[in-house]
Structure 1
Amino acid sequence: MKRLFRWLLVAAILAVAIAGIVFLPDLRYRKLANEYPQALAAAKAAGIPTNAEEFAPAPIPDEENAAIELKVAMELYDSDRSAISDRVNEIKKAVEDPSATVPAPTPDMVQIMNICRTAAKKPKCQFTKDWSDPINTTFPEYAPLKNFARMLDADMIIKARAGQWDIVHENALAVQKLADFSASDQVLIGGLVSVAIKSINYSSLVQIVDESNAHPRILEIIEDVCAKNQNIKPSHIFRGEAYMSMYAAEFAADKQRHKEFEEMMTGWGGMSDTSTYSSGTLIDKLKDLFSRSTDEETPRPRSFTARRAQATTLVQLTTEMYQPILQGDLRWEEAAKSLDYENRINNMQPSVENELAVYIFPMFDQAFLSFRVSELRAQLLETAVEIHRYHAAKGRFPKTGDIVLPTDPFSGKDLLLKSSATGFQLYSVGANGKDDGGIYKNPVSNRDIDLVYQFRMPDTVFSGR
């Protein structure tokens, strides 16, 4: 009897030990996992889109939707993408040198540019997207739109040399509208493509000013482009980023779909193919997280309870970070302070429940800088027009104090102006917040440069440090 009792006692101890091994780790996450419904309700109340119905924009009538025309242009582009891209590159390279012979655009390119000019007259653009599955949502239109902008941009320089200012004007406005259309999806990558297209436009306008000796018509065109410029708001872009986070949390919190989510990570290409932009690098990060093996230093949790706890943390952090941005009309520098991404993530204790939240959020620093620089370049162009007009009226370029200069968002002080008999430099101190003397090219450090509008001012004047 005693022997049987001892065996039963050993069996009971083993059973308790096994139960502890199996169930005790889940107890650590259970309370947080059970808070998921409350976290989701709080996110909804804060205006965070939690499903496709809440996020997807209302349909646009065809008569207002530029996507109708742009799809036709994209079909032409796709019919001979490689040849068209090569010709665009050849033309772009040639127009940089006023003495070079510029290759003629192909018939398809001419037709594409005409379509873009027509599409630009429509107020909005909405390409068909399945927002119920944002992980597999791609944005194949971004690469063509950027190339369409490059076509129009090169054509704008060619037409300016021929004195065809009406077409220059039409092209400049069309490129600006392509930038606006690229940002219509409310996702970060769309905003960054928009900024890239605006940069193409601004660079060409500056080149035309220089080549035409600040012809009055190009100054008028710049004024019109800047007046119609639509700066991208943080509340617009981060609505999509918040939805992506909520969608990932939904998978992790669902007992059936959480396995589906892990399977979906297999083979995901993310942003590796820039010809078909996808919905973000966050998916690549998730793929890495879910593919970890158990022998790694921080293995992925295998229990549903732990995964649901992760989902709760992700929803809570998404709400905390994005609510002030989505509900306010913040500028980019204000949004950066509100997100405080780096400090939030760095101060989170390393743990399984925090791990998904740490992985899901992309690095925003470069994005914030890109949007701020884009706004500043438009401001530099507007002010440069005023300086050129001052020169036309008085026969000299203004010095500091002769005109009112806008505030430099990177320093909080006035933009800097240096002028001579041959030209001027108008510039911002840039991301490092330091006046580097008007240097806009530095082979040592890209951070030690200023954001410069320069007209006929030799590089040697301000090349030293």
Structure 2
Amino acid sequence: MKDKTKKRVKRAIVVFVVLSVIYGMAVGVGLIRLHNVYHDLSDNGRPTALEEIIPAHVFDQNNAALLYGSAIARLKAEPANDESLMKHLTTLIKQVRTEDPNESAQQEIDQWLDSDLMKEVFALVEQGTRRSGCRFDLDYEGGFAVQMSHLQGLRTLSRLMGRQVQRLASKGQVEQAWQLAETMARFAEATSDEPLLVNQLIRIQRIGATLEAIWTLCETSTPSKQQIATFNTLFSSFASKQPLMNALDGERLICDHTIFRSSDPSQVRQLLEIKDTRWRLLFSAYTGLGKPLFLADHAYYLRIMNQVSSSFETPYSSRTQEDLNVTEDTPSHYLASRMFLPPFYRIFYRHNDMLARLRITSTGLGLIEFRQEHGSYPDTLKDWPRETIADPFTHLPLMYRKESNGFLLYSLGPNKEDDYGQVNTKDDQKGDIAWQYSRAQ
């Protein structure tokens, strides 16, 4: 009996040693692959340390964020319907930005826009746009738990300013309206240096609000040459892909620092809001006993993020559906990658939608300027002396049609089908992105 027990113990030891060797080899292979991915990132010129992407310090006297923060704080401090005015206005804006706008909500917004408080808030924003830098005090090393409460405030302020541009124009106060539109454009750049995807996606929304305000304003007032030149200068910074590329790098580095290389598993579980005991045990096993798989997951995440950053210059028209849906192809056993790889298709779509509107606006302002100089719009864009701007979705010239008192200028949008300028207000990526400008001269 003792001999049988000894044999069983010996076999168990042999099995344990063999499994340990296999486990160690698997970990070693995982570490080598991970090292190679870091090497590829470095070769591609991508930052590999969190410190590389944190925005530079801005002295208080030059920091617009302090004034923008004060504007947001003023609205948060003002009570309205048992909540802060900021929260209340944000709710009202959502009620207005629907297919069936709430008229009473719009009237209440307009009443607040006439208040002395809102004039003070807009004055703070305007002062901020004249400062040379903007950096909000964000704890980037805190990872995805970083507090970004300023983002909703910035978006709400942009939409309030857009509404005020419309109101000023309707009252005939066109000079003040154009000045506010210019302030909106400068204000939209406030978070261009923040290397986080959510920050850049909200920045894209705020740029969109600015362009929408310009389109509306052009219906009642023709911009001057100087105003067009000013906007085109600002548009050049909007068109840069660098802020979004920096955000992709920031997303990768923060996920790398907070999730994959965290020395505190409990912090990771708290971040992921894993409250169920079984899930906690599973995650602990995945990051501990399942380390070879976790290392492979880590390498896969970094490789995909590097691949996407490297291909960011590829035109939308050249991207295959496989390129755009790379997140959906993530193996099911790579749990962290499936949770933290961004929705690249949505990001590319949002960015190119903004680029399309930006190029339509820039071209449209040029056509208005052409009309001022020559008395009529060109019959085709080929008759326009300037370089034709390409549709970011097709990489072909924007579609243009001269009309009696204006023009129709449009992009084919993400489906790359010509719907003859028909705009779809639903967020299903169908229809064209169009500016139909009409104004009797």
- Is 2:163 aligned against 1:182? no
2:11 is the alignment partner of 1:5? no
CA distance in 2, matches of 1:96, 1:178: 28
Counterpart-to-counterpart distance in 1, 2:49 and 2:22: 33
Counting only pairs closer than 5 Å after superposition, residues 262-341 of structure 1 correspond to structure 2 as: 262-267=268-273, 291=279, 294=282, 300=286, 302-303=288-289, 305-306=291-292, 307-322=294-309, 330=313, 333=316, 340=323
Residue 59 of structure 1 and its aligned partner are, at CA, apart by 0.6
From 452, 455, 464, the counterpart of 2:434: 452
Amino acid at match of 1:440: V
Q: Residue by residue, what CA displacement relative to the aligned partner does 1:222-275 show, whole Å, maximum 9, x if unpaired?
A: 542233221254343233433433343345665x7152443333538xxxxxxx
In the superposition, relative to structure 1, how do residues 205 and 220 fare at CA in structure 2: closer, same or farther (>3 Å)? farther
Q: Deviations along 1:364-414, whole A, 9 cap, x unmatched? A: 112112212212212212222333344455655432244354332323332
The whole-number CA distance in structure 1 between the counterparts of 2:301 and 2:76 is 40
What amino acid does structure 1 have at the position aligned with 2:401? Answer: K
SS in 2 for 1:132: helix
Partner residue, 1:33: 31
Residue of structure 1 in register with 2:159 after alignment: 150
CA root-mean-square deviation: 3.9
Letter in 2 for 1:249: D
Alignment pair present for 1:403 and 2:381: no
Partner in structure 1 of residue 366 of structure 2: 386
Shift of 1:450: 1.0
Q: Distance in 2 between matches of 1:179 and 1:410?
A: 23
Q: Which amino acid aligns with 1:311?
A: H
For residues 63-102 of structure 1, the C-alpha deviation after alignment (integer angstroms, 9 at most, x for no partner) is 32111211211210210264355457479789999xx895
Q: CA offset at residue 451 of structure 1?
A: 1.2
Alignment length, in residue pairs? Answer: 419
- Which of 408, 431, 438 is residue 425 of structure 1 equivalent to? 408
Matching residue within 252, 256, 261 for 1:249: 256
The one-letter amino acid of 1:262's match is: V
Matches of 2:269 and 2:86, distance apart in 1: 38
CA spacing shift, 1:220–1:154, aligned 2, 3 Å: farther
In 1, Cα distance between the equivalents of 2:364 and 2:214? 12
Query: Is 2:210 the partner of 1:196?
Result: no
Equivalent residue number for residue 369 of structure 1: 349
Q: Deviations over 1:322-379 (max 9, x none)?
A: 3576xxxx47649968x94645873x6x475x55344431111121122122122122
Q: Match of 1:441, SS?
A: coil
Name stretches of at least 5 consecutive residues in structure 1 with no aligned partner.
269-286, 458-465
Q: Given the two structures, how large is their TM-score scaled by the length of structure 1? A: 0.76
- Aligned residue for 1:83? 85
Inter-CA distance 166–335: structure 2 relative to 1 (3 Å threshold): farther
TM-score of the two chains, using structure 2 as the length reference: 0.79
Query: Partners of 2:72 and 2:50 in 1: how far apart?
Result: 26
Q: 1:190 to 1:32 in 2, by over 3 A?
A: same
Q: What corresponds to 2:130 in structure 1?
A: 121
Q: Does the residue aligned with 2:192 lie in a helix, a strand or coil?
A: helix
**What are the ranges of 5 or more consecutive residues in structure 2 without an aligned counterpart?**
none
1:160-182 CA-to-partner distances (Å, cap 9, x unmatched) read 23333332232112111221113
